[in-house]
């Protein structure tokens, strides 16, 4: 079923004008029409879509076609940065709702159908009279995941892709640390209420990605409840059944995840790709992996990383670059005159262009000291031998800022240093600028009693006023059978930060990061299905310099 094309309304034109000013793109070139259509899939399901057609002078063809797949609806808020802004500049755009969402038939099962459905959309597009012979894909977050699913088997007529904050591997995000990432519960709650757009204004707001802080305290209580799975089951009932499938499959290599992992796309794709991320995005680790892997293969891939959270990194602050990228690789009417990597350096608060990421660096070792110090001087063998703390599962160490789904970012995390369940190793003020570019690594001689425990590490900066701000971090559920006489080698997330003269380096060591990850209960029982908890005493050995923070330091600045 296909509707009649509808001209853009005056209200829509006003929204587009104000939105374009906000994202910093040039003036419009035309208006456009929107046509509601249904796209048949191979199994008989039909997907709802809107086709945006620019209103151009006679005989002037659109400059290109953009395909977008989205599970968050097709309303003005989500369609502006993904379709409307391009349609007003001469592009056709096909904006498709994911199976089981917002008018599309079938059942929503996150990540499982995008690979086949996206191929069917392409087959259908090729049969349309308006199809120009090639297309690009675009969209952030889940929309980016849908692009990787398509690129698992890249169509020959797909000529470019713009993928902001987009994961390619759902298993990696859910279970890559060994502990379940609990933003899958808050995201599932949002998606289980996706019909809220027909409800109250508040419920409509709560369904917008990035605004999950409007969710009820009942979900917070459910996430904090034990046993975790049973507590979530009580809250969700028969809603969000996919969440409980996630919980059943902690092994990322389980066959369940096969259709939800698209590393094969990184191995096969050859087209130009623009990646956008933020240092505090939920999927930064995956985006950086994508760039490095594609770059090593010789793919024409570009990277932008700003001081952004997930929502901020979704393309809103990089629209001029996206326009230039599409002008070169789709419209064939311009050039993307930017370096392959453009990153924001926190501390110095500057953007820097680079031929690749990470740049050449030298490892600089800082040693953890007794009395919770950290220094370039190796401590003596007979120095204070160890530092300890206790993690209590019933009062878990909270997450403060960082790479959260709907909030987080760079924040004041000074409170960590005042907690008894945290070790905050802090240096003296640095005497010269230190620029960290890449992945910091921690070598840690660590033991826990009982051995069932997790580690959360964070690199922060303490300013001259004694206020600490986060830079990068990591999380890992530890192997209880590990050899504790050997150092754990733990990589933090990529970062770009300059420690200015007078600031101090801080390494946070904790046993939890709640409610970002399901906490360790301290027992051999399943952390998702047990309510038995045991506090865990963590011991970090520092004597002789066996525990170290290794920073990738750039050339003198």
Q: Which residue has the tokens 């917002």?
A: 102
278 vs 209: which has the higher pLDDT: 278
CA distances from 163 to 139, 273, 539 (A): 6, 7, 42
pLDDT band at 197 (very low <50, low <70, confident <90, very high): very low
Does the pLDDT of residue 218 top 60, yes or no?
A: yes
Quick one: pLDDT at residue 33?
A: 98
Per-residue pLDDT, averaged over 314-338, amounts to: 96
CA distance 346 to 361: 17
Q: What is the 3-state secondary structure (H, E, C) of 30-66?
A: CEEEEEEEEEECCCCCEEEEEEEEEECCCCCCCCEEE
Q: Which residues contact 161 (CB under 8 A, 6 or more apart)?
A: 136, 137, 138, 147, 151, 269, 271, 272, 273, 274
From 185-199, 253-267, 272-286, 349-363, the region with the lowest mean pLDDT:
185-199
Quick one: pLDDT at residue 195?
A: 60
Tens of pLDDT, residue by residue over 90-145, are: 999 999 999 999 999 999 999 999 999 999 999 999 999 999 999 999 999 999 99
pLDDT band at 199 (very low <50, low <70, confident <90, very high): very low
Residue 374 located in a structural domain: yes
Q: Are residues 212 and 258 in the same domain?
A: no
Per-residue pLDDT, averaged over 316-330, amounts to: 97
Q: Are residues 170 and 83 in the same domain?
A: yes
Residue 111 located in a structural domain: yes
pLDDT band at 330 (very low <50, low <70, confident <90, very high): very high
At residue 485, what are phi and psi to the nearest 5 degrees? -80, -15
Domain boundaries, position 541: 365-527+534-553
Q: Are residues 338 and 391 in the same domain?
A: no
CA distance 457 to 473: 5
Residue 406: count other Cβ atoms within 10 Å of its Cβ: 20
Tens of pLDDT, residue by residue over 28-57, are: 999 999 999 999 999 999 999 999 999 999
Q: Are residues 99 and 148 in the same domain?
A: yes
Q: Are residues 384 and 494 in the same domain?
A: yes
Residue 504 located in a structural domain: yes
Q: Which of 22, 258, 256, 309 is nearest to 149 (CA)?
A: 258
CA 428 to chain centroid: 33
Question: Is 266 within 8 Å of 119 (Cβ atoms)?
Answer: no
How much of the chain, in percent, has pLDDT values that exceed 90?
Answer: 92
DSSP per residue, 409-462 = BS-B-GGGGG-TTEEEEEPPPPSS-EEEEE--EEEEEEEEESS--EEEEEEEEE
Q: At what angle do helices 217-224 and 183-192 cross, to 10 degrees?
A: 140
CA distance 509 to 280: 19
Q: Are residues 328 and 465 in the same domain?
A: no
Q: Are residues 65 and 200 in the same domain?
A: no
Q: Are residues 436 and 288 in the same domain?
A: no
Residue 350 located in a structural domain: no
How much of the chain, in percent, has pLDDT values that exceed 70?
Answer: 96
313, 344, 375: which is the final residue of a domain? 344
Residue 309 located in a structural domain: yes
200, 216, 249: which is the final residue of a domain? 249
CA distance 78 to 139: 10
Question: Is 510 within 8 Å of 422 (Cβ atoms)?
Answer: yes
pLDDT band at 214 (very low <50, low <70, confident <90, very high): very low
The number of folded domains in the chain is 3
CA distance 486 to 483: 6
CA distance 258 to 261: 6
Q: Is 242 helix (H, G, I), strand (E, B) or coil?
A: helix
Q: Which of 86, 41, 80 is nearest to 65 (CA)?
A: 86
Q: Are residues 315 and 386 in the same domain?
A: no
Quick one: pLDDT at residue 213?
A: 40
Q: Are residues 340 and 395 in the same domain?
A: no
Q: Are residues 311 and 449 in the same domain?
A: no
Does the pLDDT of residue 205 top 70, yes or no?
A: no
Taking the model in full, what pTM does it have?
0.95
Tens of pLDDT, residue by residue over 499-514, are: 999 999 999 999 999 9
Does the pLDDT of residue 12 top 90, yes or no?
A: yes
Assigned token pair, 258: 């096969």
Can the peptide bond before residue 509 be classed as cis, meaning omega within 30 degrees of 0? no
Residue 202 located in a structural domain: yes
pLDDT band at 557 (very low <50, low <70, confident <90, very high): low
Residue 357 located in a structural domain: no
- CATH number of 437's domain: 2.60.120.260
Quick one: pLDDT at residue 381?
A: 81
202, 229, 249: which is the final residue of a domain? 249
Per-residue pLDDT, averaged over 338-361, amounts to: 97
CA distance 181 to 517: 5
Quick one: pLDDT at residue 2?
A: 81
- CATH number of 53's domain: 3.40.50.1820
CA distances from 195 to 78, 216, 420 (A): 15, 17, 44
Assigned token pair, 532: 């038995």
Question: Is 265 within 8 Å of 152 (Cβ atoms)?
Answer: yes
Does the pLDDT of residue 203 top 50, yes or no?
A: no
Question: Is 514 within 8 Å of 402 (Cβ atoms)?
Answer: no
Does the pLDDT of residue 200 top 50, yes or no?
A: no
Residue 1 located in a structural domain: no
Q: Are residues 497 and 412 in the same domain?
A: yes
């Amino acid at each position: 079923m296909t509707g009649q094309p509808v001209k853009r309304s005056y209200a829509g034109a006003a929204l587009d004008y104000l939105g374009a000013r906000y994202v910093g793109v040039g003036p419009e070139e035309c208006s456009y029409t929107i046509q509601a259509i249904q796209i048949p899939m191979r199994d008989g399901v039909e997907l709802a879509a809107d086709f945006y057609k620019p209103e151009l002078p006679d005989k002037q063809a659109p400059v290109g076609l953009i395909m977008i797949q989205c599970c968050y609806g097709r309303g003005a808020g989500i369609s502006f940065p993904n379709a409307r802004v391009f349609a007003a500049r001469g592009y056709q755009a096909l904006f498709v709702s994911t199976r089981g969402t917002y008018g599309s038939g079938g059942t929503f099962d996150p990540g499982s159908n995008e690979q086949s459905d996206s191929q069917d959309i392409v087959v259908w597009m090729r049969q349309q009279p308006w199809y120009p012979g090639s297309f690009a894909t675009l969209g952030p977050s889940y929309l980016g995941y849908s692009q990787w699913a398509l690129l698992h088997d890249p169509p020959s007529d797909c000529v470019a892709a713009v993928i902001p904050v987009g994961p390619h591997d759902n298993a990696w995000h859910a279970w890559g640390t060994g502990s379940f990432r609990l933003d899958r519960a808050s995201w599932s709650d949002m998606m289980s209420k996706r019909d809220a757009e027909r409800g109250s204004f508040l419920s409509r707001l709560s369904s917008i990605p990035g605004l999950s802080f409007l969710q009820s305290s009942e979900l917070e209580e459910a996430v904090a409840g034990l046993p975790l799975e049973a507590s979530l089951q009580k809250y969700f009932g028969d809603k969000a059944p996919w969440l409980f499938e996630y919980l059943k499959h902690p092994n990322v290599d389980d066959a369940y995840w096969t259709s939800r992992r698209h590393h094969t796309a990184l191995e096969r794709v050859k087209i130009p790709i623009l990646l956008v991320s933020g240092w505090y995005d939920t999927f930064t680790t995956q985006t950086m992996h994508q760039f490095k892997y594609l770059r090593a293969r010789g793919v024409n891939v570009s990277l932008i990383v700003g001081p952004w959270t997930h929502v901020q990194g979704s393309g809103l602050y990089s629209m001029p670059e996206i326009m230039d990228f599409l002008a070169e690789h789709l419209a064939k009417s311009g050039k993307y005159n930017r370096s392959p990597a453009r990153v924001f350096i926190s501390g110095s608060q500057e953007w820097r262009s680079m031929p690749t990421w990470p740049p050449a660096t030298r490892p600089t070792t800082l040693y953890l000291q007794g009395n919770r110090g950290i220094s370039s001087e190796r401590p003596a063998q007979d120095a204070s031998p160890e530092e300890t703390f206790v993690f209590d599962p019933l009062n878990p160490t909270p997450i403060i800022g960082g790479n959260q789904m709907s909030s987080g970012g760079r924040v004041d995390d000074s409170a960590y240093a005042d907690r008894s369940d945290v070790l905050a190793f802090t240096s003296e003020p640095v005497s010269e600028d230190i620029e960290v570019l890449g992945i910091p690594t921690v070598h840690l001689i660590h033991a826990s009693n009982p051995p069932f425990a997790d580690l959360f590490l964070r690199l922060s900066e303490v300013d001259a006023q004694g206020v600490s701000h986060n830079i990068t971090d990591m999380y890992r559920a530890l192997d209880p059978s590990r050899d504790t006489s050997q150092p754990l080698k733990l990589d933090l997330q990529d970062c770009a930060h300059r420690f200015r003269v007078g600031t101090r380096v801080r390494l946070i060591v904790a046993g939890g990061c709640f409610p970002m990850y399901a906490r360790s209960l301290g027992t051999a029982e399943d952390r998702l299905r047990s309510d038995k908890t045991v506090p865990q005493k963590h011991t970090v050995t520092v004597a002789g310099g066996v525990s170290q923070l290794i920073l990738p330091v750039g050339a003198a600045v």
